[in-house]
Amino acid sequence: MQDPETIVIGAGAAGLAAARTLSDAGRTVTVLEARPRIGGRILTVHDREWPLPVELGPEFLHGEAEATREIARRAGLAVVEVPDEHVWTEDGRIRPMGEVWTQLGKALRKIDTRAADVSLETFLARHRVPGPTRALARHFVEGYYAAHVDRVSAHSLASGAEEMEEPQRQYRLADGYFGVVEWLRAGLDPERAQVRLGCIVEEVRWRRGTVEVAYRSAASPRTRRLEARRAVVTLPLGVLKAQDGEPGAVRFDPMSPVLKNALDRLEVSQVCKLVLRFREPFWDETGFFRRRASRGVGVRIDFLHDRIGDFPTWWAVRPWQAPMMTAWAGGPRADVLAELGEAALVDRALAGLGRLLDVPRPRLEDQLESWRTHDWRRDPYSRGAYSYVGVGGLPAQRALGRPAEGTLYFAGETTEPDEMGTVAGALVSGRRAARQILKTPARSR
């Protein structure tokens, strides 16, 4: 294939969505991916020893997630609704949280977006938010957004507050998220588009109308170069923030002022996610929760929340009854756990789960068969889980979604204000970058 009109850096959801849109429009495109696989931070593990696919990256479709649903429909991927009852747990006692999204939305709607932006922590202190609501807001911002409350933009949280007041429905793909990116790749026109795996990008040199990408093979230190009229950069925020010499770092020559401003204003989310497989789903035993629950709590487990443990959030793989339980920590809790090895993480998880459900540690150890995790922080091609907006960062984020001199285009969940941190946001951003390119004339043949 001839040199492409467009180079896409990254074969995650955003990169493949951009490439597919360009390919469908008859444009030539080459995707460079550092990993030996597609998907980026989508990491679905299919293992015969496990009853269901294991999602070590994104797992849920939050709300409508229309971009993801559209692909699921076209690809014939089953989407199932996840029961969404949330409960507080402590020492085997379980009590309802009520409609948590509505509570959180009401608190965040008090944020005045006409005033100067501040951190959520500052907002909560200034407005004397009641203690229980303040604790709930902190718990969910650190968990759901994997953010630090002293860094996250209050304005960014307020933008989605009204939607939160409506009941939120959650879904999952029955066979895992990988089907989404596989469908995108499978539909690329082989005469116009190609995906090159194991191509580690090290430098992007550009001027108006020309891009030269320097990369090397994962198996060789020799530098190779690829030229095009434009490039779509879908690198995760953690990689974009990496300094010269750090694993995964990419140099931009020149550094786009818009990109530099965004890197100063946007923050990387850190997450620790550990999926445990037990011999049996003992939590589904008849009467297990009825014996432990106060009034208003159902007879099954959906999402458990822990105020003091290392892993503040736990969930089962609903709607199925399978012997799998996920432990989740985001933000400050994830920072603490980052220094531990896998064995220590499992130890902390079993200690927390035993305390929450009042199950003896020996029983948990006897039931535990296996576990899975992935350290996204130390992964050189992600350097973090996803992203959030720092104080004063909304204008910088919006600017990042606009082309740099009609040559550099940035995409990825980081660039999508309405669905930041989600696969749907990544898909929307990739298509947006491709549509921006399609407004420019194709190269004459």
The residues, any chain, with a CB within 8 Å of residue 3's CB and separated by 6 or more, are 226, 227, 228
Q: Kindly report the CATH class assigned to 6-42+177-267+387-438.
A: alpha beta
Four-residue CA torsion sign, 116, 120, 123, 125: negative
Q: Are the CB atoms for 172 and 1 separated by under 8 Å?
A: no
Four-residue CA torsion sign, 393, 396, 401, 407: negative
179: number of Cβ within 10 Å: 20
Question: In what helix (H) or strand (E) does residue 207 lie, and over which residues does it extend?
Answer: strand 199-207
| 87, amino acid identity | V
Q: Are the CB atoms for 255 and 30 separated by under 8 Å?
A: no
Q: Are the CB atoms for 305 and 86 separated by under 8 Å?
A: yes
pTM: 0.95
For the chain, give every domain's residue range.
6-42+177-267+387-438, 60-85+170-176+271-373, 100-164
- Residue 319: asked if its preceding bond is cis (omega within 30°), the reply is yes
- What residues are paired with 152 via a beta bridge? 390
pLDDT the model gives residue 85: 82
| 338, amino acid identity | A
pLDDT the model gives residue 294: 64
pLDDT the model gives residue 133: 79
Domain 60-85+170-176+271-373 has CATH 3.20.20.70: no
Q: Are the CB atoms for 200 and 216 separated by under 8 Å?
A: yes
Matching residue, tokens 């009229």: 229
Matching residue, tokens 């199950």: 359
pLDDT the model gives residue 297: 60
pLDDT the model gives residue 165: 58
Alpha helices by DSSP H, listed for 144-285, are: 154-158, 161-164, 178-186, 237-240, 257-265
Q: State the 10-residue block means of pLDDT for the chain, 445 residues long.
A: 90 98 97 98 98 97 94 98 86 76 78 93 85 84 93 89 68 97 98 97 97 94 96 98 96 96 96 98 85 65 89 95 97 94 97 93 97 97 97 96 96 95 97 96 64
* Reduced DSSP (H G I as helix, E B as strand, rest coil) percent helix, strand, coil of the chain, to 5: 30, 25, 45
pLDDT the model gives residue 167: 63
pLDDT the model gives residue 218: 85
Question: In what helix (H) or strand (E) does residue 122 lie, and over which residues does it extend?
Answer: helix 120-126
The domains spanning 6-42+177-267+387-438 and 60-85+170-176+271-373 adopt the same CATH topology:
no
Question: How far is it, in rounded angstroms, from Cα 1 to Cα 369?
Answer: 48
* The two three-digit tokens of residue 244, written as one number: 């010269």
* The two three-digit tokens of residue 101, written as one number: 């999204």
pLDDT the model gives residue 166: 63
The residues, any chain, with a CB within 8 Å of residue 378's CB and separated by 6 or more, are none
Q: Is residue 233 classed as helix, strand or coil in its secondary structure?
A: strand
pLDDT the model gives residue 110: 84
Q: How far is CA 45 from the centre of its chain?
A: 16
pLDDT the model gives residue 90: 77
* The two three-digit tokens of residue 43, written as one number: 């990491």
